[in-house]
Structure 1
Amino acid sequence: MTQTVSKRTWSDTGRPFPYVLMYHSVAVYQHDPYLVTVDPRRFDQQLRWLRSNDLRGVSMRELMQARRAGDARGLVGLTFDDGYADFARNVVPALRRHGCSATVFVIAGRIGGDNEWDPAGPRKRLMTAEEVQEVAGAGVEVGSHGLLHQHLSYVDEDELFAEVVGSRELLREITGQDVAGFCYPYGDVDRRVVHAVEAAGYDYACAIWRSEASGVHALPRTYIGDRDGALRLRAKHLRHRLTTNR
């Protein structure tokens, strides 16, 4: 899908985009062809870097509320796509150690399954319903990553409704909480999909790249991988500041 660069501000408010980091899996690994895994030791170093630079990782819910109140200085959105089981095992304890929070985007129709959409990579187990409940009870925001991890710009209207609305209903049943955020699988988003997410009542949604659809319901994010040490983290943070405040 071709992405075109849009204006550097929120399409509906004229404010700069928030700084949001995109993670997937945090686990010890040997083979990672899709570059979606961060070693737990590296992740701990990355959180330590944030705190030592007067930044604090928070959930998207907290970040969006703080921005509406005009009090988001030093807050960075931490997001984790797919809902891997290692989120409960490795991420939640690290967040607690560093006084941070996060949002995990769960694939509602694949809970308890694995990442079969990544055929060349190692099998990674996804959280069970009990694990999703556990992380929600620990204060983590649970958002929707759709129903089956599909390219949403390619599905018909009925499938899109199931992906956007059906996934939210399932996650509400599991967590007993509202589901305020959505995340587009593969970062695949166009205006039709954005309109469906907005119409479903989500407060915000996360994409990957900036595009003509960018805004509160298609927020761009910064990819973070296992190679991102202090120098690369600093460079990515600086790049965000320069490109959103011109």
Structure 2
Amino acid sequence: MTQTVSKRTWRDTGRPFPYVLMYHSVAVYQRDPYLVTVDPRRFDQQLRWLRDNGLRGVSMRELMRARRAGEARGLVGLTFDDGYADFARNVVPALQRHGCTGTVFVIAGRIGGDNEWDPAGPRKRLMTADEVREVAEAGVEVGSHGLLHQHMSYLDDDELVAEAVESRDLLRELTGQDVAGFCYPYGDVDQRVVDTVTAAGYEYGCAIWRSEVSGPHALPRTYIGDRDGALRLRAKHLRHRLTGLR
């Protein structure tokens, strides 16, 4: 019922989708063929740009609840896919310096592993269980990125349920906190996947692109990379304001 009400409200009132930024890794790097890495100095500049322009980065849980209360003006969702170890080392301190929060989507079945799904790129370590607990205790929202970073639409029904339900259970047990959000690996989402994630009890879901299933359980996001300085950030924010409606 919650999903239906949210979809109807957005469609009927013309309210825009929330502005959500999509990051992955924040680290010093030499090679980045998948364009998933932002240098820590650039990341600091991006957070400063948000604050200088009257915006504040927050977790998705905070953003969605603020929207329901009509108090989301000036809030931007900050999301970080995959749960890289550099999140604990580089992202959390930067968020704290700028008075921001964020959401990290952790792959529950690969904690302490690496990004083996990116064969052409450098190996990037994922957070350990201790690091996931530490970032949760620091006020970061931990969401699910599934069990194994798989294309969700390729899975059969039982596998799909496991990705949504078992990953949430593992992260709840690890952090001692609720897990409100799901992020679809590769942005791969269709109606069957959305229905499964909704039935699993998630408050929201993050996709990448707008599609026919866009809504509170398939939210489009804006990619942010290392090339995004002030002018590109302004252009992306303006594009969202102009095209963020259904």
Return the alpha-carbon distance in structure 2 between the equivalents of residues 245 and 191 of structure 1. 20
Is 1:111 matched with 2:111?
Answer: yes
State the match for 1:73 in structure 2: 73
Q: Which runs of 5+ in 1 are unaligned?
A: 1-9
| 2:236 alignment counterpart | 236
Cα distance in structure 2, aligned partners of 1:66 and 1:185: 26
Query: What's the counterpart of residue 3 of structure 2?
Result: none
Q: Deviations over 1:137-169 (max 9, x none)?
A: 000000000000000000011110110000000
* Deviations 1:110-137 (CA, angstroms, capped at 9, x unpaired): 0000000000000000000000000000
Q: Do residues 167 (structure 1) and 131 (structure 2) align?
A: no
Pair 1:203-2:203 in alignment: yes
Distance in 2, Cα, partners of 1:195 & 1:177: 23
How much has 1:244 moved relative to structure 2?
2.1
Give me the whole-angstrom Cα distance separating, in 1, the residues matched to 2:60 and 2:70. Answer: 15
Kept in 1: contact 2:25–2:80 (CA 8 A): yes
Distance 2:235 2:81 in 1: 23
Q: Is the 8 A contact 1:12 1:215 kept in 2?
A: no
What's the counterpart of residue 216 of structure 2? 216
1:12 matched to 2:8? The reply is yes
d(CA) in 1 for partners of 2:8 and 2:173? 31
CA distance in 1, matches of 2:227, 2:59: 23
| Contact 2:204–2:217 under 8 Å retained in 1 | yes
Q: In structure 2, do the counterparts of structure 1 residues 105 and 54 end up closer, same or farther at CA, with 3 Å as the change threshold?
A: same
CA-to-partner distance for each residue in 1:43-94, whole Å, 9 max, x for gaps?
Answer: 0000000000000000001101100100100000000000000000000000
3-state SS, counterpart of residue 12 of structure 1: helix
Gaps of 5+ in 2: 1-5
For 1:113-132, list aligned pairs within 5 A: 113-132=113-132
Shift of 1:245: 4.9
Report if the CA contact (8 A) 1:83-1:127 is conserved: yes
Give the 5 Å matches for 1:116-155.
116-155=116-155
Normalised by the length of structure 2, the TM-score is 0.95
AA of the residue aligned to 2:220 = P
Letter in 2 for 1:38: V
8 Å contact 1:104–1:142 — kept in the other structure? yes
C-alpha separation between the residues in 1 aligned to 2:171 and 2:57?
23
In 1, the alpha carbon distance for the partners of 2:41 and 2:192 equals 40
Report the counterpart of residue 92 of structure 2 in structure 1.
Answer: 92
Whether contact under 8 Å (1:57, 1:76) holds in the other structure is: yes
Asked if the contact 1:12–1:216 (Cα under 8 Å) also holds between the matched residues in 2, the reply is no
What corresponds to 2:60 in structure 1?
60
Mapped partners of 1:236, 1:211: distance in 2: 19
1:5 equivalent in structure 2: none
For normalisation by structure 1, the TM-score amounts to 0.95
Cα separation, 1, equivalents of 2:135 and 2:103: 10
Q: CA RMSD in A?
A: 0.9
CA–CA distance in structure 2, aligned partners of residues 242 and 154 of structure 1: 34
Deviation of 1:215 after TM superposition, in Å, equals 0.3
Q: Distance in 1 between matches of 2:244 and 2:24?
A: 24
Which structure's residues are more often helix, by fraction?
2
State the distance in 2 between where 1:83 and 1:244 align. 27
